[in-house]
């Protein structure tokens, strides 16, 4: 469900893109499980992605459901110059 406190990054007719929150971590983990082919990490991993790396990650919602997640992180040795992105999953 989209709470008013979420920052909306972009919007299309079908999807709303926003930064994840710690509350999204369980749904993101379930999305990984449904997609298959991607290693499933601990619950803490998804909590860290959604909370500590929220500024470089995105969830896509359709209706009130999270249907896609993209994670990214800035490499510590190249904080300004580089962002490594990984598409995690889409239902």
Q: Is the pTM of this model over 0.75?
A: no
Tokens of 17: 């893109």
Q: Is 39 helix (H, G, I), strand (E, B) or coil?
A: coil
Q: What is the CATH number of domain 8-90?
A: 3.40.630.30
Domain boundaries, the chain: 8-90
β-strand partners of 17: 10, 60
> For residues 88 and 32, is the Cβ–Cβ distance under 8 A?
yes
Judge whether 89 and 31 are in contact, CB under 8 Å.
Answer: yes
> pLDDT tens digit string along 26-74?
999 888 888 776 666 788 888 888 998 898 899 999 888 999 999 887 7
Beta strands in the chain (DSSP E): 8-11, 16-18, 58-62, 65-74, 83-90
């Amino acid at each position: 469900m989209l709470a008013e406190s979420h920052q909306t990054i972009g919007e299309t007719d079908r999807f709303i893109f926003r930064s994840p929150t710690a509350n999204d971590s369980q749904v993101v983990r379930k999305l990984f499980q449904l997609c298959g082919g991607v290693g499933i990490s601990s619950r803490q991993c998804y909590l860290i992605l959604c909370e500590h790396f929220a500024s470089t990650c995105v969830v896509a919602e359709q209706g009130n459901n999270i249907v896609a997640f993209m994670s990214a992180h800035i490499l510590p040795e190249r904080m300004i110059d580089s962002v490594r992105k990984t598409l995690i999953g889409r239902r």
